[in-house]
Each structure stands twice: as structure tokens, then as C-alpha cells.
């Protein structure tokens, strides 16, 4: 086998090329990062959606969350399975138990709630 002869200049050029490629890959990785959907954020957004846009908006409100389970649906979509208690707005002593799915997608700089699943759609 032949001998490879590197001088300082060629080593420096290789270092510059590899450093540039590494920094480009690092910048791409950072720009593709998606923030983690926390349980607190998911339940807050699910409650707001349920209370204002869901099928029971204006009639019931989520008063207590019992359990949350996340299901990843690709790089930027998550289904949150949420088990909760809801109370009748006019008489908070009347409560119901339910569990629904809430589908989130990461868009731009945050998580957006796309849709709420039907009665008993969540599984644990």
C-alpha cells in the first residue's frame, strides 16, 4: 500500500471541511427539534378545549384529571389519553367520569390541539 503524505495545510483544510459539515448538521438537528408536550400543558389545553369548544362546552367543565397517557403519532403529533371528572356547570355537585383522546400537533413554536375524541375514546 502507498503511503499517504499529509502536510499541515492539508490537515488544516480537512479540519475546516469536517467542522463545517458538523456545524451544518448540528444546526439542522436544532431546527428540527420539537418541544416536549408535558402532562401539565396537555391537560391545560384539553380542559380549555373541552370547556369552550367540545360537545359539552357551556354545560360541563373538567374539574379533576385522574390519569394521562401519551401515544406518539410521528415526529410532531401526539395523542393524549386523559381520564377525568367533569361537573355540570349549573350544579357542580353533579359530576361524570369519562376518558377521551385529545390529538395534538406541533406547529411553529408550540403544541396545538387538533381534535377531541368521543366518549370513552381513551384507553389505559
More confident residue, 16 or 60: 60
Query: Nearest-CA neighbor of 45 among 104, 95, 96, 100?
Result: 104
pLDDT score, position 12: 46
Task: Give all domains of the chain, ordered by start, each with its CATH number.
Answer: 39-116 (3.10.450.540)
pLDDT score, position 34: 79
Average pLDDT over residues 2-12: 56
The string of pLDDT tens digits covering residues 28-38 is 344 567 789 99
Q: How far apart are CA 43 and CA 67, in angstroms?
A: 10
Query: Nearest-CA neighbor of 85 among 69, 94, 67, 98?
Result: 98
Characterize the bridge pairing of strands 91-107 and 110-116.
antiparallel
pTM of the full structure: 0.74
Report the share of the chain in percent with pLDDT over 90. Answer: 69
Is the distance from CB of 110 to CB of 117 less than 8 angstroms?
no
The string of pLDDT tens digits covering residues 42-55 is 999 999 999 999 99
With 60 as the cut, is the pLDDT of residue 14 above it?
no
Amino acid at each position: 500500500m502507498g503511503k499517504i503524505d499529509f502536510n499541515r495545510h492539508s490537515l488544516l483544510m480537512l479540519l475546516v471541511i469536517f467542522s463545517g459539515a458538523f456545524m451544518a448538521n448540528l444546526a439542522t438537528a436544532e431546527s428540527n427539534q420539537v418541544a416536549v408536550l408535558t402532562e401539565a400543558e396537555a391537560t391545560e389545553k384539553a380542559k380549555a378545549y373541552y370547556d369552550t369548544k367540545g360537545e359539552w362546552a357551556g354545560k360541563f367543565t373538567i374539574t379533576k384529571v385522574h390519569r394521562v397517557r401519551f401515544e406518539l403519532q410521528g415526529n410532531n403529533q401526539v395523542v393524549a389519553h386523559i381520564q377525568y371528572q367533569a361537573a355540570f356547570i349549573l350544579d357542580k355537585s353533579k359530576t361524570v367520569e369519562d376518558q377521551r383522546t385529545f390529538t395534538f400537533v406541533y406547529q411553529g413554536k408550540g403544541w396545538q390541539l387538533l381534535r377531541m375524541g368521543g366518549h370513552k375514546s381513551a384507553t389505559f
